[in-house]
């Protein structure tokens, strides 16, 4: 069974800078299974992206140590000159870590072209 999931990056709780991005993926696991795979993957890889990478405001680069982990695994190129993270790279690394935790995990990044309707309610938020 295929599931379509949006990975939310940035200030998902909207309690600080309120900036987020979304990467939509088609996956073969449920969200709960993906979280379990990610947890297992972090134990294998030794890097928890959600805790250790881009976790502070304007923290948008991989540390040298983290870059080395992904470089040795063949996920990132040999040159650390471009360790700048963007949403797509962060999502790809997250999904790769999930794959390390569950070899059955498959995914495909897809366009988020869901239709939306703006229905007002601006004053609902303080």
> pLDDT tens across 35-53, in order?
999 999 999 999 998 888 8
Q: Give the pLDDT score at 115.
A: 59
Q: How many other β-carbons are positioned within 10 Å of the β-carbon of residue 10?
A: 16
Question: Residue 31 pLDDT more than 90?
Answer: yes
Over pLDDT 90: what percentage of the chain?
Answer: 32
Backbone angles phi, psi at 24, to 5 degrees: -100, 135
Model confidence at 17, pLDDT cuts 50, 70, 90, reads very low
Question: Residue 18 pLDDT more than 80?
Answer: no
Mean pLDDT over all residues of the chain?
Answer: 81
Question: Residue 114 pLDDT more than 90?
Answer: no
Structure-model confidence comparison of residues 67 and 13, the more confident one? 67
Domain boundaries, the chain: 3-112
- Rounded Cα distance, 89 and 23, in Å: 10
Q: What is the pLDDT of residues 61-78, one digit of tens each?
A: 788 888 888 889 888 887
Instruction: Using alpha carbons, select from 2, 7, 1, 26 the residue that is nearest to residue 108.
Output: 26
């Amino acid at each position: 069974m295929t599931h379509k999931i949006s990975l939310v990056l940035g200030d998902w709780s909207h309690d600080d800078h309120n900036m987020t991005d979304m990467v939509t993926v088609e996956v073969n696991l449920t969200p709960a299974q993906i979280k379990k795979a990610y947890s297992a993957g972090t134990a294998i890889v030794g890097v928890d992206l959600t805790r250790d990478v881009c976790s502070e405001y304007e923290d948008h680069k991989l540390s040298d140590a983290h870059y080395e982990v992904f470089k040795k695994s063949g996920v990132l190129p040999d040159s650390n000159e471009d360790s700048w993270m963007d949403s797509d790279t962060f999502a790809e690394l997250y999904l790769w870590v999930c794959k390390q935790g569950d070899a059955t995990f498959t995914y495909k990044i897809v366009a988020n072209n869901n239709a939306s309707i703006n229905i007002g309610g601006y004053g609902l938020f303080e």
